[in-house]
Amino acid sequence: MNLYTIKTYISIVLLSSVTLLFTGCTEDNSALENAGTISGQFTGISEPTPILLRSFKNGTLVKVGETKTDTNGKFSFQPDAPLKKGYHQLILNKRWPVVLITDSTEAPIVTAAIPDNPGYLSNAVIDGSPTSELLATFYSELMPMQDDLLVAQKSIQSLSGDAQAATTKKMKLLIESLDKLSIDFIKQHPNSPATLAALENLDPKKNGAAYKAVIKSLSKTFSDSHYYTMLKGKYDTSISNRTIPNQPPPPKKQTRKNGQFGVGDVALEIEMADPDGNVRKLSDLRGKVVLIDFWASWCGPCRRENPNVVLAYNKYNSKGFEVFSVSLDSNKDKWLKAIKQDGLVWPNHVSDLKGWQNAASRAYGISSIPHTILIGRDGKIIKTHLRGRVLDLELEKLFD
């Protein structure tokens, strides 16, 4: 869900409940009167600046309210309709987002200093919404590390030899640190909706216990939110392919609406427009080893995985390796911006800008992203679900 498209991973933490005991105090009465109001101040603002409030629905952000700051950066408004419990994004001037986990019973107060460059407001302080406050503390650690990863990802394009090796090592260590941060956050806050954001950063196959624990702990309190449903679906998909040890695998379904195509199956044709409107066909790459990469600019884990795909492309492209990226975006500008930011230099980028209704993803039965399919020179599937070091090892076997 990428909230700055979102640079990518959104992680969430558990927030312990807070009970106000001073019944009858002015503060208590004010909080009740202001329920549903979102307010705060962005320092560094010298003129009225637009603010949008958006909610996550069906994998996209939908506007649910808007206002403007005054000349001092102060603002206060209510959404177009009472917010339901879930994840919501407040974004200043379409450049500086911050995520809230709230509903109409709370009155979040957001304060932050506006940085020089666009990006997530990792310095935001949030009051009036304990879970949002907890998420803000998590992001204050996550985002600087993510920024470092993006810088390393961009710089590696121009490096070679020892410098490239050193940067590659740095990127791997950053990814490991991001994994640890998410796991620790989940363990420290096992019952908070904020843990969903941390969960999204993790591979469900490698971290099934974490997924199972979070899904179970939130099943009665947060299961009606889109974010919960999305991540539960991701986990369910990851375990659907597992078989009982020492037992024969179930018969493979032979249907085009199936994301479980196996080794040896011929990859379905993909024929779709690139950003310039030119139609690109997967079959035009026959004779090369191709990684079909289903992703989106708003998908945090996708953006996090992009450095690994970039490394693989740079390492093996000269040997006959290509990437065919299928985006589940619905906003062309965000799609193009993510391609540029993440250094996705290969030419084969396609999308019909229909989000989860993308024709190629539906044909392949894709229910969660990132999702990769490696096909050989003959167009047949070699392996699926290749990420990180596993992708590099598979390509190493093929080319080296």
In tens, the pLDDT along 85-99 reads 899 999 999 899 999
pLDDT in tens, 43-84: 999 999 999 999 877 656 789 999 999 999 999 999 999 999
Residue 396 has pLDDT above 70, yes or no: yes
Residue 260: which pLDDT band, with cuts at 50, 70 and 90? low
Does the pTM surpass 0.75? The reply is no
Mean pLDDT of 120-140: 94
pLDDT score, position 327: 95
Residue 311 has pLDDT above 80, yes or no: yes
pLDDT in tens, 188-231: 998 999 999 998 778 787 888 999 999 999 999 998 887 788 78
How is the chain split into domains, by residue range?
26-139, 147-240, 271-399
pLDDT score, position 195: 93
Q: In CATH, what class is 26-139?
A: mainly beta
Residue 163 has pLDDT above 80, yes or no: yes
Residue 113 has pLDDT above 50, yes or no: yes
Q: In CATH, what class is 271-399?
A: alpha beta
Report which listed range, 20-34, 145-159, 238-252, 269-283, is most confident.
269-283
- Its sign, for the CA torsion 316, 322, 325, 326, is negative
Q: Which residues pair with 293 in a beta bridge?
A: 325, 372
Domains 26-139 and 271-399 share a fold: no
Mean pLDDT of 372-394: 87
pLDDT score, position 32: 52
Residue 328: which pLDDT band, with cuts at 50, 70 and 90? very high
Classified as helix, coil or strand, 66 is strand
CB 107 within 8 A of CB 128: yes
